[in-house]
């Protein structure tokens, strides 16, 4: 069972996001990147599958910002193989990224590709769905559980709907799966273990020229939502804030 996990680097939302001078994209000069949270769940799910059924887990990153730490962390968590693809990928769309991933996968021998169900910057939709369509293999997203039958090469995927409802979809391998959340929260690895991985694990390097086809739309404007929106902001010391909140609750008949 060979599993590929796609780890995408996305802007860290804890940092202030800046918009470029002509207002058509983010300014990425000082951007800090972190792995997309859903992809970390995809990695955890891959490692859980490996622990249950054996096989290998390959973690793949396009070089966007600093990715080696992301890959070494994946190794410390249990990934067996690390791949970094070099190229001009900053701001790449999920559509164009899917083509790069598809190319790698065609040259590999993977039974299952796991990726996050979406990333917060996917203007062109989830990369997993695009990748599977390019490879003409099955895709199921919004998945938070699975049961693999290695004998038959079939995977039963638990797909989420509102209100906690799940459907089970039986899918033949190879397939791409968009992970909403792993069965268990992504495991914690101590820094020492990551440091150790950075010494022992090797990162396989590939290069790719991303295609940049015309997207079929034009970006007219990139902007931040109106400042503060509609909330009336309550300032003051915690006691003053508490007093004001209780009086608001009282006006709404929520406290006696």
Using CB under 8 A as the binding rule, whether residue 215 contacts another protein is answered as yes
CB of 245 to another protein, least distance (A): 6
Cα separation, 201 vs 8, whole angstroms? 20
> Would you list the DSSP string of 42-98?
HHHHHHHHHHHH--EEEEEEE-SSS-HHHHHHHHHHT-SEEEEEESS-TT--HHHHH
Using CB under 8 A as the binding rule, whether residue 196 contacts another protein is answered as no
Whichever of 86 and 248 has its CB closer to another protein, that residue is 248
Using CB under 8 A as the binding rule, whether residue 225 contacts another protein is answered as yes
**Residue closest to 146 by CA, chosen among 75, 74, 82, 53:** 53
Sign of CA dihedral 215, 220, 222, 224: negative
Interacting residues with another protein between 135 and 194 (CB under 8 A): 137-142, 144, 156, 158-172, 175, 178, 180-181, 184-185
Using CB under 8 A as the binding rule, whether residue 245 contacts another protein is answered as yes
CB of 199 to another protein, least distance (A): 30
Q: Read off the tokens for 210.
A: 């991303």
Using CB under 8 A as the binding rule, whether residue 129 contacts another protein is answered as yes
CB of 88 to another protein, least distance (A): 21
Sign of CA dihedral 228, 231, 235, 239: negative
Using CB under 8 A as the binding rule, whether residue 19 contacts another protein is answered as yes
Binding another protein (rule: CB under 8 A), the pick from 16, 21, 22, 151 is: 16
Binding another protein (rule: CB under 8 A), the pick from 22, 29, 151, 224 is: 224
């Amino acid at each position: 069972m060979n599993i590929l996990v796609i780890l995408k680097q996305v802007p860290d939302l804890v940092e202030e996001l800046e918009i470029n001078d002509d207002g058509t994209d983010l300014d990425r000069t000082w951007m800090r990147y972190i792995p997309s949270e859903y992809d970390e769940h995809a990695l955890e799910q891959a490692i859980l599958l490996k622990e249950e059924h054996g096989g290998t887990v390959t973690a793949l990153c396009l070089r966007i910002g600093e990715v080696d730490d992301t890959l070494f962390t994946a190794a410390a968590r249990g990934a067996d193989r690390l791949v970094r693809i070099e190229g001009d990928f900053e701001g790449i769309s999920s559509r164009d990224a899917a083509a790069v991933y598809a190319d790698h996968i065609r040259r590999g021998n993977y039974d299952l590709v796991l990726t996050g169900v979406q990333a917060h910057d996917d203007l062109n939709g989830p990369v997993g769905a695009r990748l599977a369509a390019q490879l003409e293999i099955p895709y199921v997203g919004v998945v938070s559980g699975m049961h693999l039958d290695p004998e038959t090469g079939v995977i039963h995927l638990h797909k989420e709907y509102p209100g906690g409802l799940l459907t089970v979809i039986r899918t033949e391998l190879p397939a791409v799966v968009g992970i909403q959340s792993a069965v268990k929260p992504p495991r914690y690895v101590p820094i020492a273990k990551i440091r150790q991985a950075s010494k022992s694990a090797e990162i396989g390097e590939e290069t790719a020229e991303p295609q940049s086809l015309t997207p079929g739309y034009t970006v007219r404007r990139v902007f931040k939502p109106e400042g503060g929106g509609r909330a009336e902001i309550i300032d003051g010391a915690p006691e003053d804030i508490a007093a004001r909140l209780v009086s608001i609750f009282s006006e709404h008949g929520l406290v006696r």
